[in-house]
Amino acid sequence: MLIGEYTHTIDEKKRISLPANFRKEIGKKVIVTKGLDGCLFMFTLKGWEKIVVGNLEKLSIGKSDSRDFGRYLLGSAREIDIDSIGRILIPDNHQEHAGITSRSKVVFAGVYSRVEIWEESKWKACQDKIVKSADQLAEKLGEIGAI
């Protein structure tokens, strides 16, 4: 399971070191795609296969929302090699989507089977919003038996 929050700095060559705690679970390659809320999603190859085979391929091509979401998530997905010292190269279009620039501080947030990659100030704003509504979120999840 991918959990925890880690802050790293992207270098001038657009590379960033993955948190050591994630490297054990990730392998030699990852899939990075545009995420929701202004972040990037990073999946292991196995996790990505579960998302695509288990869910996305079942979406109807007859529905425009399904086609659009497939284009959004799958169209921007890239298979990225992890170098020998645990770094990945974040493509320009992904950096632009997430508001990441050279020397940006980047937050890796483990969320079950994926890692979210955030520009640090966006992450802090998202966390502030979540903290303010945590009680209400817990109430809603309790109503459906999730917690």
Report the pLDDT value the prediction gives residue 67, as an integer from 0 to 100. Answer: 86
Domains of the chain listed by start with CATH number: 2-119 (3.40.1550.20)
Q: Please, what is the average pLDDT of the chain?
A: 92
CB within 8 Å of 30: residues ≥ 6 apart = 42, 43, 44, 45, 79, 80, 82, 88
Report the pLDDT value the prediction gives residue 145, as an integer from 0 to 100. Answer: 84
pLDDT above 90 for 54? no
Rounded CA-CA distance 133/1 in Å is 25
| Residue-wise pLDDT tens digits, 111-147 | 999 999 999 999 999 999 999 998 998 888 888 887 7
Share of the chain above pLDDT 70, in %: 100
- The predicted model gives 81-90 an average pLDDT of 96
Report the pLDDT value the prediction gives residue 59, as an integer from 0 to 100. Answer: 75
